[in-house]
Each structure stands twice: as C-alpha cells, then as structure tokens.
A = this chain, B = another copy of it.
C-alpha cells in the first residue's frame, strides 16, 4: 500500500480470507450452493415483516432518532423475557446489550477483554467469524478437538496447562457454540457442558457461549444452555441473534453478561457505532410483540428439519461408499463431512466443476501460526449447509458432489 497509509500492526497482518476468494468461483448460474451459511430466503416472513413496518408510522419520531447504546426499550423488554426463558433465571436489564449481529457481541467481548497475544480457547472446528473478530484484537488460539458430542472437554485441562507453560499466559476466554456448532453441527452433551463450566469456574476463565442455533433443534430433547447451568455465577457470557431465527438483514442480536462487563462493552461500543439501528430494533420488537416469532419458528423448524433429513438421505444415497463420514446433526444449519483420501480444497475445485459448492474445512481452524499447542487443520473436512438450497437441489447437489468425489478416469 501507498506509504501514506501506514497500517496498524493488527490491520497489517490481516489477510483476505481465502474462502472469500473461493466464494467468487461460486457466482455462476446453475451452481447449487451448500457453501454460505444462509437461512432459506423462501422462508423469510416477508409479508409479516413488511406489515410490522407500520411502526415507522406510529412510532417514527422515536425510531428515526438516535437510540440508547444498550438497545431500544421495547425490544429490550422482549429480550429480557426471551432470555429469562432460555437461561432459566430472571435476567436484569444491566446484564443485557443489544448488538448489531452476534458478530458485534464477540467483537465487543474481544475488545473488552483481550490484549494482543492473549489466548482464547476455541473448538476445532469453530466459527470463522469469531476467529476474525478475535484476530482483530490480536488473539492467539488454543484449538481443542471436537467429536460428535462437541468439544473434547476432557482435553481442556492439558491444553490450558500447556498454553500456560509455553506462553506464560492463561487463556482469557473459552469460546463455544454448544448447540449445533457452525460448522460441525455437533451438540455439546450435558455432561460436557457441566464439565466445561466447572473447569472454567475453577480456572476463572470466562466462557463465551454463542447460541444462534439453540432454537433450531429438529430431533431429541433440548439441553440447557451453559449460562443456565451457571446459575448466578458470572462465568458465562451468552449471546444469541435474530439472524438465523428471523432474518440476518435486520442485524439485531443480543448479549447477556455480568453487568460490569456489559458496561465496559457499552463504553467500547459508543466509540464503535453508537447503537444498533432503532428502525430495525423497532421492526423486530413489533414482529415479536405480535407473536409472529413463535409462528415463524414453528414454520422454519418444519422446513429445516425436512431439509436436514433430505440431505441425510441424499448423502447416504449418492456418496460413494467410504468416501466421506458424517454424523447427521440434530439441529442447526450444517453437515460436516470427514473426507477420505482427498483434500477438501481439491474436492472444492472438482465440485465447482460439477456445479456444486461447499466450504473447505480449513476455514474453520485458526491459522497454524496463531495456534498455541498442538496445531490442527481442517484439510480433510467439508461443511455443507442444508438450509439455503431446496430439497430438490439438495438431492441433485449431493449427486454432483458424489461425481466430484469419484471423478471419471480422464482419457489419456
């Protein structure tokens, strides 16, 4: 870059995500995408959201003005109620912050707690947006392997001890998506939730529990959030979002945490973007007030559950025996395939040739030079989102994927 702009140390190390480069290859007609983790736009409650825009007429003077950094009052009331039900206790206003997507909640927690070089425990694989947020503040990562029941919590003590030995620092945060992780789809077992919490309390490391998919369970019984297991302990910082249960375009999410931490996040936030749009907060509040959210959840649960089953069926039907292994998720957006004998990046390029796309696994792991302890990479994995495509596309896409997995011998 022109020497006029001398980038900050942190910004200077930023690299465009290689995945975003791959995404450019996806923009072609007739391609079936399992790549983006997008809600089904066909399920968006367009009419009802549009009808709620009445609030711009009835409450325009307030909705068009600056809002409080903590969030718009009527929406906060709804979120306190929703959070109370999800978290199993009466959440106080001082514990709540409305954010512009959960991405911002992670960003604010990172800015509030982390100095460059500080270490965060993440699941491997984990949500790349969180890696990006925490990289923005110079974090390094301890990656703890996952299996079909989520993070291998039993490995945590050794990983933390090794981090302390190697870096002289105890990790400052443990990040987890316990319900239907992006990308693994795994649901952290109840026993592991309790173990994780005990461990975090003992070592005094806060847990950041990211819960965008908790309401999207298609089979089995709901498990309590880690925050709810923590009772009145401040150990768990909880965040969730309307992005997956209503619409990402509204950019409305929320965090529930210790009041003093929330105060610090608000302070940071006042220098970041002041507040979330009161227009979209008012729209979401009205949508919830009319009871539409319950109806919509019921609707998308049916749709996504059917799509999840469709992908399970299509993978079993089309994929060559032994080419890939997976566990069908009980909720969320994703299948996570372990490939046999092919790198996911190679498979990606072959798949694009067959006009089907997914996200290669490497995106979901910290870069090797950001990792403390045993380094892990995702080269043998592939994330398939089942919520965006329709069921016919899901079947056809899996058929195409099978061709990519077993290419015809080239003429020679």
Count A-side interface residues using an 8 Å CB cutoff. Answer: 85
Q: Are B2 and A247 in contact (CB under 8 A)?
A: no
Binary contact track A47-68/B, C-beta < 8 Å → 1, others 0: 1011001101100111111110
The proximity string for A residues 168-189 relative to B, scoring 1 for CB distances below 8 Å and 0 otherwise, is: 0000100000000000000000
Could you tell me which residues of chain A, from 222 to 243, have a CB within 8 Å of some CB in chain B? Answer: 234-235, 243
A313 in the interface (beta carbon within 8 A):
no
Q: Within 8 Å of chain B (Cβ to Cβ): is A148?
A: no
Question: Beyond A56-B53, A60-B49, A101-B273, is A7–B112 a contact (Cβ under 8 Å)?
Answer: yes
Is the C-beta of A283 less than 8 angstroms from some C-beta in chain B? yes
Asked whether B277 lies within 8 Å of A277 as measured between CB atoms, the reply is yes
Q: Return the CB mask of A100-111 against B: 1 if under 8 Å, else 0.
A: 110110010001
Number of copies: 2
Binary B-proximity of A358-372 (CB < 8 A = 1, otherwise 0): 000000000000000
Report the nearest B residue to A248, measured CB to CB.
B66
B249 with A11: CB separation less than 8 A? no
Q: Judge whether A82 is part of the interface by a CB distance below 8 angstroms.
A: no
A129 adjacent to B249 (CB under 8 Å): no
Q: Are A249 and B279 in contact (CB under 8 A)?
A: yes
Q: Are the CB atoms of B278 and A249 closer together than 8 Å?
A: yes
Contact partners of A280 in chain B: CB under 8 A: 277, 279-280
Task: Report yes or no: B53 in contact with A65, Cβ–Cβ below 8 A.
Answer: no
With A133-B271, A268-B136 in contact, is A56–B50 under 8 Å at CB? yes
Across the interface, A11 reaches (CB within 8 A) one of B41, B104, B112, B243, namely: B112
Chain B residues within 8 Å of A83, by CB: none
Residues in chain B near residue A39, CB distance under 8 A: 65
Bound form: Cα–Cα A276–B248 in Å = 10
The 9 residue pairs across chains A and B that have the minimum distance between CB atoms: A46-B60, A53-B53, A64-B247, A132-B271, A50-B56, A249-B278, A133-B271, A136-B271, A251-B277
Q: Assuming A5-B234, A38-B66, what are 7 further A-B pairs, CB within 8 angstroms?
A: A5-B258, A7-B113, A11-B111, A66-B248, A111-B136, A136-B271, A249-B277
